[in-house]
Amino acid sequence: MKVLVTGGAGFIGSHVVDRLQACGHAPRIFDLVQSLHHDPDLVETKLGDLSDTVALAEAMRDCSAVVHLAAVSDVNDVVANPDRAELVNARGTELVLEAARTNGIRRVVYASTIWVYGGATGVEPLDESTLLTRPPHLYTATKLAGEMYCHSYAELYGLQPTVLRFGIPHGPRARATSVVATFVRRASDGKPLVIMGDGLQTRQFIYVEDLAAGILAGLTPVAAGRTYNLVRDELTSVREIAEIVRDLVRDVPIVYTAERQADLENRVISGTRAWHELDWRPRTSFRQGVRRYVESLSVADGTPSSTISSRISGSAATVMRQEPETL
């Protein structure tokens, strides 16, 4: 099956491309930039902007499905440039759905986020039937707009979108500003790990290759028109992340600094629906995922720190972003 992967050069998208290839599918990347992980001679690549409707429609030609990941995914970029975020995340998703409709493609998998549960009330764990509240964050607003467009295109035009709400991805190719990448870099440089607050705040991480498998499961017929959380049950605190990194990389001190406002409330999200309906389960523990991340950095020249600084651009961030780097 030929599958267009918007954002296929990105962190998650590059793993989706790998997984599609491994499963015998033919991925085609649509992205602003050339992938650092795929040779364009080996993986068909169309460079373009979502707002270029001609390029987008052309990129979808002969595809059976679209995995739509392209977005302004860094919450700090969203805050810095809300117009751009709205254009790419909200309108860009509408343009993807419209291009799919005009190309006769019914299956679109849309990348949403468990951030949509921010502010939601109800008994935890929260699941896909939880009533959502109006989003306080612009990033969430733009991602929810995309979810709503998926729903409208299903109702009006018979598209069969699948909405996938991702937990916090980690693993090889992760952005330099994510908490794991930051801790690994600092530990390998012999610097203390900086924790804001008491470090007891938790997140539901998902190892990126498990996530890619879940995204492919989202392409199966049973997922048509459905919404799924792709999360692990395991809750991981910042303290635990620090301990794992100290154990795997170097036993550097931990320094606690003043708390800052959290990016995301601590909510427990259920992944049960995806487990039951898609027969998908995250296989990789958080610790295993961190180990694989560290190993992936060491492949090039044996040292995490030099490889990290040379290979990761650091242009994007995720929740649990770690600042400052000055200690």
Ligand X SMILES: NC(=O)c1ccc[n+]([C@@H]2O[C@H](COP(=O)([O-])OP(=O)(O)OC[C@H]3O[C@@H](n4cnc5c(N)ncnc54)[C@H](O)[C@@H]3O)[C@@H](O)[C@H]2O)c1
Give the interface with ligand X as residue ranges (CB under 6 A): 7, 9-13, 31-33, 49-50, 69-71, 73, 88, 92, 111, 113, 143, 166, 168-169, 316, 318
Shortest spacing between CB 313 and ligand X, in angstroms? 10
List all residues 6 or more positions away from 42 whose beta carbon is below 8 Å from its beta carbon. none
Q: Which residue has the tokens 């810095």?
A: 80
Contact 113/78 with Cβ under 8 angstroms? no
CB-wise, 49 or 233, nearer to ligand X? Answer: 49
List all residues 6 or more positions away from 294 whose beta carbon is below 8 Å from its beta carbon. 184, 248, 249, 304
Shortest spacing between CB 96 and ligand X, in angstroms? 10
26 - beta bridge partners?
A: 2
Shortest spacing between CB 172 and ligand X, in angstroms? 12
Q: How far is CA 290 from CA 52, 109, 173, 245, 318, in A?
A: 38, 27, 12, 8, 16
CB-wise, 231 or 252, nearer to ligand X? Answer: 231
CB-wise, 225 or 314, nearer to ligand X? Answer: 314
Contact 10/31 with Cβ under 8 angstroms? yes
CB-wise, 43 or 50, nearer to ligand X? Answer: 50
Contact 82/99 with Cβ under 8 angstroms? no
Give residue number: closest CB to ligand X. 10
CB-wise, 93 or 188, nearer to ligand X? Answer: 93
Shortest spacing between CB 10 and ligand X, in angstroms? 2
Shortest spacing between CB 92 and ligand X, in angstroms? 6
Helix (H, G, I), strand (E, B) or coil at 176: coil
Alpha helices in the chain (DSSP H): 11-22, 53-60, 75-80, 82-85, 92-102, 138-157, 179-188, 208-217, 238-248, 272-278, 286-301, 304-311
CB-wise, 71 or 219, nearer to ligand X? Answer: 71
Shortest spacing between CB 85 and ligand X, in angstroms? 10
Q: Which residue has the tokens 């629906």?
A: 273
